[in-house]
Amino acid sequence: MSQAKRRSVLTVNGEQHHVLAPAAATLLDVLRTGLGLTGSKCGCNHGVCGACTVLLDGKLARSCLTLAADVGERRVTTIEGIAGDLDFSAVQRALVESGAIQCGFCTPGFVITLTELFARDPHPGRETIRAALSGNLCRCSGYVKIVEAAEHLAGGVR
């Protein structure tokens, strides 16, 4: 099965793409190698690290555990589409301003996860932020600055 290529249409960051990929290809594979959208990272390829996190119809998903064939009509949002027409989204600016980035490998996943959180809850408290980020691993920062960035965006420590 994995050898046979199949055609599908994916809506990524508002644009339709026709892709030809093996039936067992993950969304992450298709984004990175098929569409050249390399912002979503492959850290572990089994759901643990969160570096590949994207939004499907606004909901968080691991693109490494999602088959491209299973995306269907759901709209995919990746880090490349997160700021829309702006240079940076509010979440991205908050991370930059707090110095919450070191090597940056985990950052796309954190940005997506925080974007989903702030869309649901514009003023999350520290515990809500920590719980929301618990599925994203960062090997460099120790998390403190990332949580601080989110707290600043939420309007200070509550």
Partner 1 sequence: MSVDQGVFRPASVDEAVSVLARLPDARLISGGATLVAMINARLIEPAALVSLAGVDELHGITENPDGGWRIGAMTRHRDVAAERRFTGTLALVQQAASLIANATVRNMGTIGGAIAHADPGLDYPPALVAADAQIEIASGKGRRRLPASEFFVDWYATALQSAELVTAVHLRAASDGVGLYHKLARVSGDYATVSVALTMSSGVAGIATRAAMGACGPTPILLEEANALLSGSPGESELNRAGELLAAAADPVDDVRGSAEYRRLLIPRMLARAFTEARAAIGART
Ligand X SMILES: Cc1cc2nc3c(=O)[nH]c(=O)nc-3n(C[C@H](O)[C@H](O)[C@H](O)COP(=O)(O)OP(=O)(O)OC[C@H]3O[C@@H](n4cnc5c(N)ncnc54)[C@H](O)[C@@H]3O)c2cc1C
Which positions touch ligand X (CB under 6 A)?
47-48
User: Considering only residues 70, 90, 97, 158, which one is a binding residue for partner 1 as defined by CB under 8 A?
Assistant: 70
Give the total residue count for the chain: 158
> Does residue 37 belong to the site contacting ligand FES (CB under 6 A)?
no
Instruction: Sketch the per residue contact string, 108 through 127, with partner 1: x for CB under 8 A, - otherwise.
Output: -----x--------------
As measured in angstroms, the least distance from the Cβ of 23 to partner 1 is 4
Instruction: Sketch the per residue contact string, 79 through 118, with ligand FES: x for CB under 6 A, - otherwise.
Output: ----------------------xxxxxx------------
Choose the contact partner of 139 out of ligand X, partner 1, ligand FES, none; CB within 5 to 8 A by kind.
ligand FES
Bridge partners of 5? 22
Closest CA to 31 of 88, 77, 73: 77
106 phi and psi, to 5 degrees?
-85, -15
Choose the contact partner of 142 out of ligand X, partner 1, ligand FES, none; CB within 5 to 8 A by kind.
none
Bridge partners of 59? 56
As measured in angstroms, the least distance from the Cβ of 71 to ligand X is 15
Closest CA to 56 of 107, 116, 119: 116
Q: For residues 56 and 74, is the Cβ–Cβ distance under 8 A?
A: yes
Tokens of residue 107, six digits: 């950052």
Q: Are strands 75-77 and 5-12 parallel, antiparallel or unpaired?
A: parallel
